[in-house]
């Protein structure tokens, strides 16, 4: 008996040890990446770096045009994906919930979510850049990114809409509102925080994408002056700085700016989510 | 499902409409800088796409040109030499940049070639490597995989790590033609890096590596070896004693528009060629 | 009047929902239209089983890239899955609430970091480290696997943790009441009950690893030959497309779209596998 017990005892110890170790390694590996980048990058990030134009392919100067381009890409892709995504989510949750069409739409959304970005890039290149004649431009890049983030927005909006209590809708309908009035005035406002979270997460995806952006938006370092101009996002700039060996300092600095940006985006999303859950609980 | 075809078409139409609307906004914006440029009388935007070796030079030239002509935007894109040829031919860019001579089948496309500079290709090794001189024959042996150890060419006993460019690269095309010649192939074992800078970084980080890069991008991170006893310098390329060199070409199709013509004239002018020299490439004039 | 209004809106909603279907159809069409003819011309077998990739000499063997994608992904799973599942169990079962509250957002933050940043880290830290520790050239399957393992950690941890938390409390209480220790309960009751969720997490992580492009290019060396050891450099399907796309013309470009088809089919099979995983044991 004693022997069995000690085996159980040791197994428990070892298991706990393994779990602790896996957490420490996971967090450690991830922190190591962040720490390394910040350690080498923070010193080079300053106001000038953020607001000046790059010189010599980015070897000197700042990253201002890439920030502008990144913002444009975010705006364009979300301006397209957000309304379509939310409307799709309303359709799937409030209007047709079952049937073959819904099944097909769901399958398509899931497929879209799983397609690697390089495939989106190839598609954007073949369809938008060449076939539609948009060339490498903010428009091609923005549309490609819109397709990429669409599933995220559909899914999070669906979840948010589903979590609105049925009694809200019943109350509204009982007062004589039409279905759309109910959706517009009652359901959407209640689901808004969840939807916003999805949109913010999509911003993160747009900011971080590289492969698809190079193939569709190009890599020009100018500040784009129209939607048909080519552009270079910050992630693409980092890739080029590092791979072309142009400047490791600037690469670290760009990576630092990216990490800080993602940190801010995530904190906002988290805050909204927390607010939402506390609102629902109340 | 057939019932939905119409709806699909409609959605498609909506996306298109949105796209056109966006494009419209963009077009309006584009007119804005015209006012500034009116004094000079030159405005518009052109795109140069192609070779990543030409890209840094094009960036500098474009910047100087834009400083002189505030109404003009010159976008410089990478993509590679073959993409440059394709872009110029299909009109995706006004100017295609190539870092190698056109191939036979490309010559039939009717593109106008403008040679804007010459560039040497330096064979580079890690600064810690004892080897600092190789013959053309040895280089051929190394890159074709016949010579695999540094001791065969006077170095220490260590395997040679060959770093190559990807197929389609102008630098690779020129190097293949000049060093390997017809019928000899690159070794399969070579690392492939997608840019000049990546090759340089790889060689800088690995004591046993060897690669080749544009002479203009040679820096202290790596060591350019003497080829047949000749140092890889701009002067030696110019006087023809350093044999591994290739042209930088700007390719245009048909009648050039005003801005494209002005830009190429600028590049070929004394001022433009001075920038070529400052960027460590070899002027053609 | 009101009715027309509502009808228009309903149509609009339906159109929006169909956009996803349309995009998938367009993607499939454009990838196949550009890639399939060349596959047919040289034979699908030539692409899938050929081991020579010399696109300018009309040699389009994708086997080294298929093997490359498969091997780095496998490596990433071997390194990443035990770690992240362990981490998920810890967060769901053992960690005090305050600890979870700190670690969870941290892991979510890491999920959002651009993949190039991970690739950059791999390039400047991992590659030289591998070269020093194990010899070889540094650019290797091992390097790619480690970078991908770090990248899939957040995905697998988050989804597995949700799955573990979703196991009904009664299961756990019942097991503990019968005298099992906490670890025995985790091993025999909780993890088996959450198995399908954990499996989904792993498959999703696998999808992310196979689909990753830029980070992998930066650390694997991109050699299009079959590797002999985990210290050998390789090239992945995604890398093949991204590296050569800019330079390709004619059949070379089409062959890259064909590479896209192969990748697309692999991902579709994975997606299909996710739908096969039962939501709960017994269903």
CA distances A161 to A79, A188, B32, B46, C12, Å, are 20, 7, 43, 47, 18
Q: Which domain holds residue C126?
A: 66-276
Give the neighbours of chain B: at least 3 Cβ pairs within 8 Å: A, C
Highest mean pLDDT among A55-64, B161-170, C190-199: C190-199
Phi-psi region of B42 (alpha: psi -120 to 50; beta: other; left: phi over 0): beta
Same domain, yes or no, for B272 and B232? no
Does B23 lie at the interface with A, CB-CB under 8 angstroms? Answer: yes
C50 lies in some domain: no
Q: In the prediction, which pLDDT does A280 show?
A: 56
C282 lies in some domain: no
CATH number at residue B89: 3.40.190.10
Residues B122/B172, Cβ–Cβ less than 8 Å: no
B17 lies in some domain: no
B84 lies in some domain: yes
Rounded Cα distance, C21 and A228, in Å: 27
Q: DSSP for A14-67?
A: HHHHHHHHHHHHHHHHHHHHHHHHHHHHGGG-SHHHHHSPEEGGGTEE--HHHH
Same domain, yes or no, for C168 and C221? yes
Which C residues 71-100 touch B at CB under 8 Å? Answer: none
C56 lies in some domain: no
User: What is residue C239's DSSP assignment?
Assistant: H
Rounded Cα distance, C6 and C3, in Å: 5
Same domain, yes or no, for B86 and B65? yes
CA distances C80 to A77, C11, C83, C146, C210, Å, are 32, 46, 5, 8, 14
Same domain, yes or no, for B129 and B233? yes
Q: Would you call B26 helix, strand, or coil by DSSP? A: helix
Q: Which domain holds residue B92?
A: 44-119+247-283
Element (H, E) at C17: helix C2-42
Q: For residue range B48-100, list pLDDT tens digits in order.
A: 988 878 888 898 899 899 988 888 889 888 777 877 888 888 787 899 999 88
Same domain, yes or no, for C163 and C197? yes
pLDDT band at A278 (very low <50, low <70, confident <90, very high): low
Mutate to test the interface with B, among A91, A137, A215, A220 (most CBs of B within 10 A): A220
Rounded Cα distance, C148 and C142, in Å: 10
> Maximum CA pair distance of chain B?
76
C117 lies in some domain: yes
- Given CA atoms C134, C139, C144, C146 in this order, what sign does their dihedral have? positive
Same domain, yes or no, for B237 and B163? yes
Same domain, yes or no, for C71 and C28? no
Same domain, yes or no, for C248 and C141? yes
B13 lies in some domain: no
Which value does ipTM take for this structure? 0.87
Q: Which residues of C44-58 are buried (b: 16+ CB within 10 A; e: fewer)?
A: eebbeebbebebbee
pLDDT band at C180 (very low <50, low <70, confident <90, very high): confident
Q: Which residues of C177-188 are buried (b: 16+ CB within 10 A; e: fewer)?
A: eeebebbbbbee
- The residue behind tokens 């997490």 is C201
Rounded Cα distance, A19 and B23, in Å: 54
Same domain, yes or no, for C75 and C9? no
Same domain, yes or no, for B91 and B179? no
Q: In the prediction, which pLDDT does A119 show?
A: 94
Q: In the prediction, which pLDDT does C147 show?
A: 94
Same domain, yes or no, for C142 and C254? yes
Q: For residue range B17-45, list pLDDT tens digits in order.
A: 554 444 444 433 333 343 343 445 788 88
Same domain, yes or no, for B253 and B113? yes
C53 lies in some domain: no
- Choose the closest CB to A139 out of B22, B33, B76: B22
Rounded Cα distance, B34 and A213, in Å: 29
Rounded Cα distance, B196 and B70, in Å: 32
Domain count, chain C: 2
Same domain, yes or no, for C125 and C203? yes
Q: Which residues of B63-88 are buried (b: 16+ CB within 10 A; e: fewer)?
A: bbbeeebebbbbbbbbbbbbbbbbbb
Domain count, chain B: 2
- Choose the closest CB to C267 out of A21, A104, A115: A115
Residues B70/B33, Cβ–Cβ less than 8 Å: yes
Mutate to test the interface with C, among B1, B82, B128 (most CBs of C within 10 A): B82
* Domain A47-281 in CATH 3.40.710.10: no
Same domain, yes or no, for C205 and C247? yes
Q: Which residues of A touch C82 (CB under 8 A)?
A: 22
Q: DSSP for A117-169?
A: HHHHHHHIIIIIIIIS---SSHHHHHHHHHHHHHHHHHHHHHHHHHTS-HHHH
C60 lies in some domain: no
Give the neighbours of chain A: at least 3 Cβ pairs within 8 Å: B, C
Same domain, yes or no, for C35 and C152? no
Mean pLDDT of C92-116: 84
Output the CA torsion A131→A136→A138→A144 (10° steps): 50
**Polymer length of chain B:** 285
């Amino acid at each position: 008996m004693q022997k069995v017990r000690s085996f159980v005892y040791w197994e428990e110890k070892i298991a706990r040890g393994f779990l602790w170790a896996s957490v420490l390694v996971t967090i450690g590996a991830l922190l190591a990446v962040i720490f390394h980048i910040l350690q080498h990058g923070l010193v080079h990030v300053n106001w000038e770096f953020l607001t000046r134009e790059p010189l010599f392919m980015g070897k000197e100067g700042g990253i201002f045009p890439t920030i502008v381009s990144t913002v444009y890409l975010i705006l364009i892709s979300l301006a397209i994906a957000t309304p379509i995504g939310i409307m799709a989510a309303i359709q799937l949750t409030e209007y047709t919930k079952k049937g073959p069409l819904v099944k097909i739409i769901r399958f398509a959304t899931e497929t879209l979510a799983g397609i690697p970005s390089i495939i989106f890039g190839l598609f954007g290149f073949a369809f938008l850049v060449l076939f539609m004649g948009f060339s490498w431009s903010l428009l091609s890049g923005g549309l490609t990114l819109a397709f990429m983030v669409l599933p995220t927005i559909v899914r999070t909006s669906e979840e948010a809409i589903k979590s609105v209590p049925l009694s809200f809708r019943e109350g509204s309908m009982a007062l004589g509102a039409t279905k759309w009035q109910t959706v517009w005035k009652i359901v959407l406002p209640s689901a808004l925080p969840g939807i916003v979270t999805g949109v913010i997460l999509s911003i993160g995806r747009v900011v971080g994408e590289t492969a698809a952006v190079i193939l569709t938006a190009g890599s020009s370092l100018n500040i784009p002056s129209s939607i048909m101009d080519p552009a270079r996002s910050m992630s693409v700039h980092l890739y080029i700085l590092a791979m072309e060996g142009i400047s490791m300092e600037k690469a670290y600095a760009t990576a630092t700016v990216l990490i800080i940006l993602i940190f801010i985006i995530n904190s906002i999303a988290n805050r909204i989510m927390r607010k939402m859950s506390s609102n629902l609980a109340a | 499902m057939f019932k939905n075809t119409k709806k699909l078409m409609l959605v498609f139409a909506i996306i298109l409409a949105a796209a056109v609307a966006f494009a419209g906004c963009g077009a309006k914006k584009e007119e804005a800088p015209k006012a500034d440029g009116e004094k000079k009388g030159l405005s518009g935007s052109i795109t140069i796409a192609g070779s990543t070796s030409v890209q840094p030079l094009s960036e500098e030239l474009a910047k100087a040109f834009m400083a002189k002509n505030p109404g003009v935007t010159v976008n410089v894109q990478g993509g590679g030499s073959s993409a440059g040829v394709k872009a110029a031919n299909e009109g995706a860019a006004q100017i295609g940049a190539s870092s190698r001579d056109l191939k036979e089948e490309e010559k039939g496309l009717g593109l106008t070639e403008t040679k804007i500079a010459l560039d040497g290709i330096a064979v580079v090794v890690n600064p810690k490597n004892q080897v600092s001189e190789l013959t053309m024959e040895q280089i051929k042996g190394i890159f074709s995989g016949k010579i695999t150890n540094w001791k065969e060419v006077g170095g220490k006993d260590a395997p040679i790590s060959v770093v190559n460019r990807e197929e389609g690269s102008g630098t690779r095309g020129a190097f293949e033609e000049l060093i390997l010649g017809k019928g000899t192939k690159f070794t399969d074992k070579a690392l492939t890096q997608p840019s000049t800078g990546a090759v340089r970084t790889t060689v800088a980080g690995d004591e046993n590596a060897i690669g080749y890069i544009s002479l203009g991008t040679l820096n202290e991170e790596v060591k350019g070896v003497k080829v047949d006893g000749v140092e890889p310098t701009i002067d030696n390329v110019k006087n023809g004693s350093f044999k591994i060199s290739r042209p930088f070409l700007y390719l245009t199709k048909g009648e050039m528009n005003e801005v494209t013509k002005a830009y190429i004239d600028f590049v070929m002018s004394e001022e433009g060629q001075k920038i070529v020299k400052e960027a460590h490439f070899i002027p053609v004039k | 009047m009101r009715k027309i209004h509502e009808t228009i809106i309903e149509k609009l909603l339906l159109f929006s929902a169909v956009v996803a279907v349309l995009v998938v159809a367009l993607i499939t069409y454009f990838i196949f239209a550009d890639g399939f003819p060349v596959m047919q011309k040289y034979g699908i077998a030539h692409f899938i089983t050929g081991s020579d990739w010399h696109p300018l000499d009309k040699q389009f063997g994708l086997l080294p890239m298929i093997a490359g994608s498969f091997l780095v992904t496998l490596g990433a799973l071997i390194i990443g899955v035990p770690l992240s599942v362990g981490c998920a169990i810890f967060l769901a079962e053992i960690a005090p609430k305050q600890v979870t509250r700190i670690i969870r957002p941290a892991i979510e933050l890491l999920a959002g970091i651009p993949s190039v940043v991970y690739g950059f880290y791999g390039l400047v830290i991992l590659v030289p480290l591998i070269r020093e520790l194990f010899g070889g050239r540094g650019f290797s399957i091992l390097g790619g696997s480690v970078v991908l393992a770090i990248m899939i950690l957040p995905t697998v941890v988050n989804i597995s943790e949700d799955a573990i938390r979703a196991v009904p409390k009664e299961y756990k209480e019942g097991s503990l009441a019968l005298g099992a220790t906490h670890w025995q309960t985790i091993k025999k009751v909780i993890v088996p009950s959450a198995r399908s969720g954990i499996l989904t997490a792993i498959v999703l992580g696998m999808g992310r690893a196979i689909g990753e492009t830029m980070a992998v290019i930066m650390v694997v060396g991109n050699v299009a030959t079959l590797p002999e050891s985990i210290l050998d450099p390789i090239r992945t399907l995604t890398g093949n497309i991204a590296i050569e796309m800019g330079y390709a013309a004619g059949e070379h470009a089409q062959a890259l779209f064909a590479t896209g088809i192969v990748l697309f089919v692999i991902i579709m099979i994975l997606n299909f596998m996710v739908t096969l995983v039962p939501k709960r044991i017994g269903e």
